[in-house]
Amino acid sequence: MAGGENRRIMEMQFEAMQEEHGVRKDGDTKKPKPSNHRSENSRKIAALYEDAAEYEEELEAFEKELEIINNNKLSDILDSLVKSTPEYDGDYAVELKAVLEASWTQKVDVDKTHPKEELELIKNLAFNDVIEKLNEEDVREILVKRWEMLVAIKKEHVADERAEMKLRGMKPDHIRKVYRNYHGLDD
């Protein structure tokens, strides 16, 4: 019966080891692993990703706006933009009109492909009134090009930030993960 006694001793040693390492018999751990997401070191690492995170947020907003511009009738773009981003504190009507005015100034003064009267319409009318009087394809092309350019710029900014992290010998994906954990933005 020495074999049974050895077995019992081994079981008791195993139970002692489980208890020592915080393992219950049902497989759950007794002590939760302490989180270091809010540690000082995590704060320093997360700070390295602040600019990239801001660019990523802006990129996401521009991509959403571009999708709205591409997927809506021209007359519905302004309302769709306003409804989709209620937290936005800018004025889409003013911004869209400014984009049209700048592009049409180029077309009238530099390219000389459009009449000056169209530029005067843009300057004197609200955005929704202007789009009814201008060529829809031209207006959509201008808006799409503008937002595609903004998306490209933000992608470049994000890539630059990530490249700078790599130059410092850091892993951008790890820094992003620490940033998201630190700020409670788990993927």
1-15 residue pLDDT tens: 566 788 888 888 888
Quote the crossing angle between the two packed helices 92-105 and 136-167, to the nearest 10°: 100
Asked if the model's pLDDT at residue 79 lies above 60, the reply is: yes
Assess whether pLDDT exceeds 70 at residue 34.
no
Q: Which residues contact 176 (CB under 8 A, 6 or more apart)?
A: 49, 52, 53
Per-residue model confidence as pLDDT tens digits over 134-170: 888 999 999 999 999 999 999 999 999 999 999 989 9
pTM: 0.74
- The pLDDT score that the predictor gives to residue 101 is 94
Lowest mean per-residue pLDDT among 17-21, 76-80, 173-177: 17-21
Q: Report how far residue 87's alpha carbon sits from residue 23's, in angstroms, rounded to the nearest whole number.
A: 47
Contacts of 158 (CB under 8 A, 6+ apart): 52, 55, 56, 59
Name the residue among 86, 42, 70 with its Cα closest to residue 174: 42
pLDDT, residue 7, reads 84
Beta bridge partners of 23: 29
Res 117: pLDDT: 93
- Assess whether pLDDT exceeds 90 at residue 36: no
Residue 46's pLDDT is what? Answer: 87
For residue 24, name the pLDDT band (cuts at 50, 70, 90): low
pLDDT > 80? residue 31: no
pLDDT reported for residue 85: 85
**Residue 187 — pLDDT band, cuts 50, 70, 90?**
low
Tens of pLDDT, residue by residue over 90-142, are: 899 999 999 999 999 999 999 899 899 999 999 999 998 998 888 889 999 99
**How is residue 153 annotated by DSSP?**
H
